[in-house]
Structure 1
């Protein structure tokens, strides 16, 4: 029984910490962290996987630039917003990025290669951004934490009334209901996550070993032919017997 519990726990932890496909780095690839790039201890073209909160999005003729406030990543690849941010970086994407989708304060993670530092200004203050050329990204769903207070009622609390004994200690029994407050925090998920790769980046092969396409990525549109409806023949009408009047019966006699 213990082995089953341990195996189930390992599977659940593996499922919770799985990284999206668009953020998967090549095998044996060494990913550099943000701090090493800031201290200029990392050369260009090194592999990196960073994330954070979107601060700004700009589209130009060469592509798109996402300004991101950096946060450390969890094991699942999602930024840990409870940790401390130590700076910003710019993510360069080939192609168009919709500012209405990549809105400010959305949480995003990117995978790519480290580029040259970019000098810019933040509210009249000069700032040097580490940069990354994006090869894959994942826009995480919005999660809102709400504090909820509920009132629970326990009827028939301690039947009867008067004094009694419980585990050797006296208490006063009451017929009244027991009301108590319960504070808890719930998470509201928007389920608006999105993954993608910039234009020009090769995607994963979805064909099998024999070159046939996967059935999960293809859909067949066939028109369903319904059989013709047959109209049943009309039911024969039976002649109702003629009712003989009493006067006609007397006349026939």
Structure 2
């Protein structure tokens, strides 16, 4: 019986697709529209947002990622079938690898809202919501093409690859 419980616990832990930083209790379910409307009110609030990478730049204190926001689905993946609500920036204290976080890559990030940006010289428009990332996760590139579109019943196979 103990062996069975150990095996089941290992199998269930294998189903977790995101690192533990993404399951923190202090993450609030704020929408993009709420933060865009009044970012100062939500400053220092932790959110889990996702989207598609537009650009990644190195700055003196780490990296700055420009992201097109999409709501997250049940598995915390950006739901690119829904319309995008706008753009936001992710500021990371560590240097992010441009070979991993390239343009059009789907990502999800957890971080504290810092307010609206003043990076108008970098991205052409000030006032985008910015989060200071605690963790950033890049989704596998081919998970949609390999399973989601061609084999809807195989959707869960990607969790084990």
Q: TM-score, normalised by structure 1?
A: 0.48
Q: What residue is the counterpart of 1:113 in the other structure?
A: 112
Q: CA deviation at 1:27?
A: 2.5
- How many pairs align? 137
Q: What is aligned with 2:65? A: 66
Alpha-carbon offset, residue 127 of structure 1: 4.1
1:40 partnered with 2:38: yes
SS for the counterpart of 1:38 is helix
What CA RMSD, in Å, does the superposition of the two structures yield over aligned residues? 3.0
Cα distance in 2 between the residues matched to 1:82 and 1:35: 18
Match of 1:145 in 2: 145
Choose between structure 1 and 2 for higher RCO, CA contacts under 8 A separated by at least 6 residues. Answer: 2
Deviation at 1:121, TM superposition (A): 4.2
Residue 29 (structure 1) shift: 4.4
After superposition, the Cα gap between the structure-2 partners of 1:45 and 1:85, relative to the gap in structure 1 and judged at 3 Å, is same
If you compute each CA radius of gyration, which structure gives the higher value, 1 or 2? 1
Q: Indicate the residue corresponding to 1:27 in structure 2.
A: 25
Equivalent residue number for residue 134 of structure 1: 133
Greater fraction helix:
2
Which consecutive unaligned segments of at least 5 residues does structure 1 have?
1-11, 147-184, 192-253
